[in-house]
Structure 1
Amino acid sequence: MIDNLPYRQVAVDEVRPGGLLCVADHASNYVPDGIDLGIDPKLLNEHIAVDIGVEGIADRLARRHGIPAHIACVSRLVCDLHRNEDDRSVVPTESDGKLIPGNIGADVEARLNLFHRPYHYELGKLIERLKPRMLIALHSFTPSLDTSDEERPWEVSLLYNKDDRAARHAIRLFGEQGLNVGDNQPYSGKELNATMDRHAEANGIPYCTVEIRQDQIDTKAGQARWAVMLADVLGRVALEV
């Protein structure tokens, strides 16, 4: 986390308004000093703490493909920026069967003030300034959960709530790449779409919430490959919505 900010913005001054903007709510596993989650530090490198591979893709989209990015700089275990403020899991006490004992009895209001509110306030200001044609919400998911034996076969998925106009185009275009594409899988954007509900749907801005399976992007080579594909596919989607 830079200068105690829960976000960083990449290449936001180098593009003209009216393009694409990438948002990465779960890009970091950073735990600020003074917060003790009470967990094995090894868990900070797992999916319960960070969307594996997302930060590298968001950086590449911004620095190499001209798609500016608003990137989280704090772990979702500290404060989940992809939850509404009144969601009980905004400061999670468990995740995928793992107890987060340091969050039991945590000062939720303090964490909202430190992390959640400035993150979303600055994202809102950035959207107002850049007036993006389309938002990209970038996430990743595990091939399976520790609490379930069910395999997740989709290499990439598109999530949406009420506004599916961009997602429909993206599902088709990713399918044309020969990929197994999920439609509101492995969970539904109608149930969890907090950041895009707030910043896209509420403002009538088309968006794609893209979930990439983590074994596709857990290396720099995979991240580079997907950054190229995302820039191409989502650039074409933006022209159709």
Structure 2
Amino acid sequence: MNDAFRLIGTPRFGGILVVADHASNRVPEDIDLGIDPSLLTQHIAVDIGVREVAEAMAQTSGIAAFLCNASRLVCDCNRDEGAPAIVPIASDGHAIPGNELSHAEHEARLDRFFRPYHAGLAEQLDAVPPGLILSLHSFTPQLVSNPQEKRPWQVGVLYNEDDRAARIAIPLLEAEGLVVGDQQPYSGKLLNATMNRHAEAEGRPYLGIEVRQDEIGHPAGQGEWAERLARICNEVALTIGE
């Protein structure tokens, strides 16, 4: 088993590659985070529903999925390498005592997860360039640390400087009758590390999607969103390629 990532489906030149930095809640047996195991089913450990949606999308011809294979609590691959939260010592009010690492231990964690993940993604994108990257995440209806913050959006579209795909996708999502957030529940200008590195820096078009987790926390919603995102991503890719 590759500690850092999994590739599902068959990538196709000009197709869709789903990239999910937070698709897994896996913690290798030799790593003790020092937390209640029940936290591994919550959003601080994994983007709920994303793995199932990505796997379902990868059953469609022309779509493959590149998924991180470790919990964001082990190593958060959607961070810049120097960011302190790359191996978080706390998340949404919960301490992660097992991540109080020495410098050597921190480097070993990056060598095992972060660096192979990004090297593998770069190799995949170079080997079979997609027409569109779908950066897929999910968000909680509210944060434990900030319960007053309302998050009414069913889906958010995030981007940094390159909004080509976003401008096409937002009206398509709204046409589905959805409440769509443009740079919500947070801005892609603040947190877009993987796409900044592999898409924006290389001129590759990408669509950053955040689905509210109650939309995809069950099989029916996962199937509905997999079909919707596959259809919309194909339309976005075709429009960009015109």
In 1, distance between residues paired with 2:2 and 2:170?
38
Deviation at 1:105?
A: 2.5
Deviation at 1:220?
A: 1.1
Match in the other structure for 2:27:
31
Residues 122-164 of structure 1, C-alpha deviation per residue, up to 9 Å, x if partnerless? 1101000111111000000000000112120000010000000
Give the TM-score normalised by structure 2.
Answer: 0.96
Unpaired runs of 5+ in structure 1? none
Match in the other structure for 2:12:
16
In 1, distance between residues paired with 2:231 and 2:26?
31
Q: Does 1:77 align with 2:76?
A: no
The one-letter code sitting in structure 1 at the alignment partner of 2:19 is V
Give the TM-score normalised by structure 1.
Answer: 0.96
Q: Give the paired residue count.
A: 237
Match in the other structure for 2:107:
109
In 1, distance between residues paired with 2:17 and 2:101?
36
Maintained 8 Å contact 2:158/2:207: yes
Within a 5 Å distance, the mapping from 1:117-196 to structure 2 comes to 117-148=115-146, 149-196=148-195
Match in the other structure for 1:57:
53
State the identity %.
54
Maintained 8 Å contact 1:36/1:102: yes
Structure 1 residue ranges (4+ consecutive) displaced by more than 6 angstroms after TM superposition: none
Backbone CA RMSD of aligned residues: 1.0
Maintained 8 Å contact 1:65/1:231: no
Maintained 8 Å contact 1:24/1:138: yes
Partner of 1:70, secondary structure, is: strand
In 1, distance between residues paired with 2:175 and 2:19?
25
Partner of 2:71, secondary structure, is: coil
Unpaired runs of 5+ in structure 2? none
Deviation at 1:16?
A: 3.1
Match in the other structure for 1:86:
82
Maintained 8 Å contact 1:9/1:71: yes
Residues 73-130 of structure 1, C-alpha deviation per residue, up to 9 Å, x if partnerless? 1000000011111000000011111111111135211111000011110110100011
